[in-house]
Amino acid sequence: MRFAALATLAFLFLLGDPCLVSASARPNILFIFDDQHRKDAVSCYGGVNIQTPNIDRLAREGIRFTNALSTTPICTPYRGMLMTGKYPTHTGLVVNFVNPHRGERGIADVFNEAGYHTGFIGKWHLTSSVITHHSMLEPKQRPNTPTIEEPEFVPPDRSRLGFQYWAAFNFHMTFRHGTYYRDTPEPQTYPGYEAEWMANDAIEFLEQHEHSDQSFFLMVAPHYPHPLWRGETDVPPEALAAVTEDIKLPPNSKQELPFEVVSFGGTRSLLTLEQVRTYYAMCTNVDENLGRVLDCLDRTGLADNTIVVFTTDHGEQLGSHGRKSKMVPFEESINIPLLVRWPGNIKPGTVSDALYTPMDHLPTLCALAGLDSPNDLDGMDLSSEILQSGKVQRDDVLIAHYMSTANYCQAQHAELQWRGVRSKTHTYAKNINGAELLFDNIGDPHQMNPLVGDQQHRPMLEAMRKRLKQLLSEAHDDLLPGTQYANWFDETRTVIRTGRGDF
């Protein structure tokens, strides 16, 4: 059946009308992305502190990208790019806890129209949630505003960007016995730990499609390994026990825990051994539950015609460069795991150095499924790179962070308001005060030797400056201070304008 379906798909491609393919003939898509997963917390990327055999299995059986990038390394902007295929400055999704414009179309809309059953399980983080009526400039509630009784509930309307099946929450950090919602605002509590519940729900969804003629597009979004990192409060004890106390820290980090780190907003805190072990234990638990889902695909016979994607929304500094969290142009924040498997179509063990951004998922998955992409996307179709049927690569991409804190339009910390260029070999960034960074990521993979001011690298610096101007123009990005974005949102933190102007 699988080969007949693929033959039909190929025949209709030759006819030039892939949209005529029935939903049952198209591949299923299972897209799993967790939250804040460093690349060195994956053993097939060279990680040494834990083993991730199930992610590694995807690498053996599919393609592994070495230059997958979270081009804006923070939750909502990443998710906005993933769902829409557009720059944050083209959707207005430049900061956390905001609502997309009601007319925004997402990846689920495209697959719905092709007859897919779409579903979302896990952390959404694409609505304003508990801070709906807060000012965009500070954590202060606007006067005379109503209370939201269930702020984590995302109603079954345009707030879900088209997803049909729903078992999700917007944002919370209760990783054991936490709450989620379906189609009504009554909270449901999952037993045990978060990643296990999500795997259980995903398995139930897959089993319901074992004998279905309808293809599915399912996203699963664990909140792990996002903080808080509190040992067995947040992660199963067996996962924690699997992480050694002899943690190997990279050379761009202090070598003895605990030590002081800086996170967003300039907050200083101690990074402890318990926190680091919990972080890696969360990654272990994600991998274990990924394995359970992959086993379900095998057991149900769905594996052969299911494209599986594993990635993350951004990385985590975890002490590198003296920082905790994300939002900076260092590799630990922006260079992320990305693996794609499709048996019989993707050559096992393939490794690609193509620059892959969150905006590329929508056009790429559409092409793999034989669908036409919307014509207003900023992302690139990299399906030929995945299938090794041709080279369609770019030389560089725009990287950016717009605010000095995660959830408000603030501008106190210039180092968190930057734009830059990431090529296969170099990282360049410039912040709103004009300070610049330039690194040779091949010769200096831990980015310990900044090259700005080195006359030998002056031509590269000038080329990057020129290229940044071109990319900013393409993205309608004027390199504004964070406070200048507050008027992009109404009093409910809903997008009303973008870099292109008012809706």
Q: pLDDT tens digit string along 180-239?
A: 999 999 999 999 999 999 999 999 999 999 999 999 999 999 999 999 999 999 999 999
8 A C-beta contact, residue 383 and residue 128 = no
Evaluate whether 323 touches 236 at the Cβ level (below 8 Å): no
Half-sphere exposure of 318 (CA within 13 A, CB side): 30
pLDDT (tens digit, 9 = 90+) per residue, 129-173? 999 999 999 999 888 888 888 999 999 999 999 999 999 999 999
Peptide bond into 237 cis (omega under 30): no
Estimate the crossing angle of helix 273-300 against helix 194-208, to 10 degrees: 10
Provide the pLDDT confidence category of residue 3 given band limits of 50, 70 and 90.
very low
- pLDDT for 52 equals 98
Cα-based distances in Å from 370 to 132, 162, 331, 332: 38, 19, 33, 34
Question: Tokens for 151?
Answer: 């702020």
Give the sign of the dihedral formed by CA 359, CA 120, CA 159, CA 409.
negative
The tokens describing 406, both together, are 């995660």
Place of tokens 């996170």: 263
Separation between Cα atoms, residue 176 and residue 234, nearest integer Å: 6
Mind giving me the DSSP string for 307-373?
A: EEEEEES----TTGGGB-SS-SSSHHHHB--EEEE-TTTSPTTEEE---B-GGGHHHHHHHHHT-PP
Residue-wise pLDDT tens digits, 275-324: 999 999 999 999 999 999 999 999 999 999 999 999 999 999 999 999 99
pLDDT of residue 223: 97
Residue 5, pLDDT score: 39
DSSP 99: B
d(Cα 218, Cα 203) in Å, to the nearest integer?
A: 11
Q: Return the bridge partners of 68, or none.
A: 356
* 7 has a pLDDT exceeding 60: no
Q: Where are the alpha helices (DSSP H) in 40-190?
A: 53-61, 75-84, 88-91, 107-113
Residue for token pair 């599919």? 62
State the pLDDT confidence band at 10, using cuts at 50, 70 and 90: very low
In 3-state terms, what secondary structure has residue 123? strand
Query: Scanning the structure block, which residue is given the tokens 């106390």?
Result: 245
Neighbouring C-beta atoms of residue 410, cutoff 10 Å: 24
Task: Read off the pLDDT band of 265 (50, 70, 90).
Answer: confident
Helix, coil or strand: residue 179: strand
Torsion of CA 68, 236, 407, 380, to 10 degrees: 20
pLDDT (0 to 100) of residue 24 = 60
User: Which pLDDT does position 266 carry in this prediction?
Assistant: 81
Length, in residues, of the chain? 503
pLDDT at 444: 98
Instruction: Write the CB contacts of 240 (distance below 8 Å, at least 6 apart in sequence).
Output: 231, 232, 277, 278, 281
- C-alpha 73/C-alpha 50 separation (Å) is 23
pLDDT at 26: 94
Q: What is the mean pLDDT of the chain?
A: 94
pLDDT number for residue 14? 41
pLDDT of res. 21: 52
Q: Which long-range contacts (CB under 8 A, 24 or more apart) does 65-68 make?
A: 65/338, 65/339, 65/340, 65/351, 65/352, 65/353, 65/354, 65/356, 66/351, 66/352, 66/353, 67/335, 67/352, 67/353, 67/354, 67/355, 67/356, 67/424, 68/311, 68/335, 68/336, 68/337, 68/338, 68/356
Neighbour-count burial of 92, counting CB atoms closer than 10 A to its CB (0-12 exposed, 13-18 middle, 19+ buried): buried
- Please give the share of the chain, as a percent, with pLDDT higher than 90: 91
- At 359-385, the pLDDT tens digits run 999 999 999 999 999 999 999 999 999
DSSP state of 201: H
Q: What is the structure's pLDDT at 391?
A: 78
Q: How far apart are CA 182 and CA 80, in angstroms?
A: 21
Contact 274, 229 (CB under 8 A): yes
| The model's pTM | 0.95
Does the domain at 24-394+486-498 match CATH 3.40.50.2300? Answer given as: no
